[in-house]
Amino acid sequence: MHKVFLQRLATFFLLLLLPIGCNLLFLYRSGELLAIEEIFELQLQDSRYLYGTALHADTKQYKLAGYSKVQPQVVVLGSSTSMQMAGMFFRQPFYNLGGAMDSISDGELVVDRMLNGHRPNHILLGLDFWWFNSQFKQAKYGLNIDQEKARLASLRPLLEPFKWIRDGKVSLKEYFNIILSPDPFLLGIAAQKRQTGFLEDGSYVYTSTIVGEEEGGDIQFEGTLRRMQEERSRFEQGEYANDTHISHFIALVRRLRENGVDVTVYMPPLAPTVYDELMRRIGDYKYIADIKDRLKGDGIEILDLQNPYLLQSGACEFVDGFHGGDITNARVLLAIDQWRVSQSLPALGRTDLLHALISKNSGHAMLRERTVVPGQEVDFLKIGCDKKIPGE
């Protein structure tokens, strides 16, 4: 009787642990359990590696680790609105720190890290106007960036796949495909499932949305326009820029310049539909002009590239209402260089290559040269974009 009980108890625990064991294998095979250092070593060895996690909130850790490894001469620093700027655009060693600075307080922490280690020669600082809105919460790092947390610090990660399957985020077919035959160059669930994530230069690719494998979150820019109508999620209204945010940003830029870093501040473009709506409502967003006036008064010139018409960047080149795609960012760099040359500063981009890429890929959000898996761009915004490439 005692033996039968023990056998049943052992069977019970085996059945209980088997799904957990499968989840552990699923996470391991997907690359989710690799340490950040291991991920970056792989990416430096082969540019085909793409890192896209669905498990870890580690963008800032990952970016700063990448920066330390690459030790670039040119850096783009900003939020996700700067993540499409690619290393292939530049003449000198480059790294994209887009996503490391979601607020001014984030930027202060990144600059501390920079000035205590490798210092780049040039920083292109993508300024988001909402950083200066009194209603915008200045985000703080939620973890110690100097000490990476263990990938399996608790049981929570082992339970997450159950939730993904329950919520339809991962199908059983995808689950077992990743266990049995994962793509070795796609590191993380988001990379395996959606081919989205970070390349070795720190830039980001949105493959699954752009090739139409999954529906984007801003069809016809309705999501961004709704944010404006509801005055939320970065599009809160305001008359004056926050004094504290202004003073902290000025101190941040001055500190970099005093330490020999050339800083160019620019405002990333909005999609045409969103820009038009912002201009229609500009009386509710007076603080944006206040930002530019006050920073200029303290010697910080802002290159305002919010207007996509000045860049000749149409709606079809945007990923959503406030994230320009690859070609938009190529146009941004050309505009930055044009301004820099007018200020007797050296151009940073590969001018001939940028013109060639724009000429061939006008109207596209994604460069094939930056994709790690084959795929044809589609009209993912559903606004009537012709995604054919001339000559193909």
**pLDDT tens-digit series, residues 328-354:** 999 999 999 999 999 999 999 999 999
- Fold adopted by 48-146+194-370: Rossmann fold (3.40.50)
pLDDT of residue 388: 86
Q: What is the DSSP secondary-structure string of 9-68?
A: HHHHHHHHHHHHHHHHHHHHHHTTTS-HHHHHHHHHH-TT-EE--SS---HHHHHHHHHH
Q: Helix (H, G, I), strand (E, B), or coil: what is residue 150?
A: coil
User: Which pTM does this prediction carry?
Assistant: 0.94
Q: Centre a 10 Å sphere on the Cβ of residue 6 and count the other Cβ atoms it contains.
A: 10
What pLDDT is attached to residue 142?
A: 45
R_g over Cα of the chain: 23
Would you state the pLDDT for residue 308? 98
Type of residue at 304: D
Res 143: pLDDT: 42
Residues 209 and 215: their CA atoms lie apart, in Å, by: 6
d(CA 69, CA 62): 11
CA atoms within 13 A on the CB side of 35: 9
Which among 94, 83, 72 is positioned nearest to 128, based on CA atoms? 83
Q: What is the DSSP annotation of 280-319?
A: HTGGG-THHHHHHHHHHHTT--EEE---HHHHT--GGGEE
Q: Which residue stretches of the chain have pLDDT < 70? A: 1-17, 138-150, 152-153, 390-392
Tokens 């940073």 appear where? 348
| Nearest residue to 111 via CA among 221, 261, 310 | 261
Beta-strand runs (E) in the chain? 50-51, 74-78, 94-98, 122-126, 186-187, 196-198, 204-206, 262-267, 302-304, 318-320, 323-324
Domain extent listing, the chain: 48-146+194-370
State residue 261's pLDDT score.
Answer: 98
Given this model, what pLDDT does residue 11 score?
Answer: 53
